[in-house]
């Protein structure tokens, strides 16, 4: 099955309004020879500005997270209603930094998935193992658990359009990267899990991104793997020429 590739840039806690605007303007001229879907995920302070500047271009805009409630006494949180109102069409959920630094559990993420679906935000659902889990040969078991518990209670129809991002925790911001063969092995296992939980058509239609020190120098070999449908890029998503090269992978 031919799946449209996705190149997503997670800006994390970076960029002022001016820096965000400059980066978006540069990315509008990045080219897109692979006809990929291009998504940027700015900080909440830049979300509305980035969405406004992205209008009329092929760039799509994602929130980096959303709360599970639509409104209320949740100081510092941002609801799916607010994210959508600011111009987001997507949201990242379950990024390893949200899991490890902010304590997002599978149960919390399951509520966030419900909230995002309620407001028609396309979900980029992140999964991944730590170095200790990989060395203990627990990678597939850990990821299966994250998928089963995080997406529990939802049907294939409800999750239509879901994007999965495999991010080995040990490769995020460390300069280490899973080899293309390691990425392919896990992506194939994720697709098999989706087929088991839902159905084969759903599994074949779901796009699975690789994230974890994706660079302009390694994107070509990663994207060559049959079950790798795109990349979730961190550091190099902040550098227009590097991200442009990743968008225009060979």
Catalytic center residues: 95, 167
Buried b (16+ CB within 10 A) or exposed e, 121-149: bbbbbbbbbbeebbeeeebbebbbebbee
Q: Are 6 and 163 a contacting pair, CB within 8 Å? A: yes
Give backbone dihedrals phi and psi of 222, rounded to 5 degrees, phi first. Answer: -70, -45
Q: Counting beta carbons within 10 angstroms of the beta carbon of residue 51, is it exposed (0 to 12), middle (13 to 18) or buried (19 or more)? A: buried
What distance lies between CA 236 and its chain's CA centroid?
15
The partner residues of 8 in beta bridges, in order of sequence, read: 39, 232
CA distance 99 to 53: 31
**For the CA atoms of 104, 171, 61, 216, what is the dihedral angle to 10 degrees?**
180
Instruction: Kindly state the tokens that stand for 115.
Output: 């909230």
Q: Are 168 and 142 a contacting pair, CB within 8 Å? A: no
What distance lies between CA 140 and its chain's CA centroid?
19
Q: Are 129 and 176 a contacting pair, CB within 8 Å? A: no
Please name the residue that has the structure tokens 């911001």. 173
């Amino acid at each position: 099955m031919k799946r449209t590739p996705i190149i997503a840039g997670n800006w994390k806690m970076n960029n002022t309004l001016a820096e965000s605007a400059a980066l978006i303007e540069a990315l509008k001229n990045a080219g897109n020879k692979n006809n990929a879907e291009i998504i940027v995920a700015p900080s909440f302070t830049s979300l509305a500005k980035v969405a406004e500047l992205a209008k009329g271009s092929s760039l799509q805009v994602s929130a980096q997270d959303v709360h599970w409630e639509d409104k209320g006494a949740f100081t510092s949180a941002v609801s799916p209603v607010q994210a959508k109102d600011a111009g987001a069409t997507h949201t990242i959920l379950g990024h390893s930094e949200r899991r490890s630094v902010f304590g997002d559990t599978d149960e919390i993420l399951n509520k966030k998935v419900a909230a995002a679906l309620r407001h028609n935000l396309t979900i980029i659902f992140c999964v991944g193992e730590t170095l200790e889990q990989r060395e203990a040969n627990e990678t597939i078991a850990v990821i299966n658990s994250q998928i089963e518990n995080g997406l529990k209670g939802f049907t294939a129809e409800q999750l239509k359009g879901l994007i999965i991002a495999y991010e080995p925790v040990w490769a995020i911001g460390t300069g280490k990267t899973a080899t293309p063969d390691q990425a392919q092995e896990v992506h194939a296992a994720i697709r098999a899990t989706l087929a088991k939980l839902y159905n084969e058509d759903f599994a074949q239609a779901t796009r699975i991104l690789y994230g974890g020190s994706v660079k302009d120098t390694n994107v070509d070999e990663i994207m060559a793997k049959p079950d790798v449908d795109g990349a979730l890029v961190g550091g190099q998503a902040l550098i227009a020429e590097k991200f442009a090269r990743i968008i225009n992978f060979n």
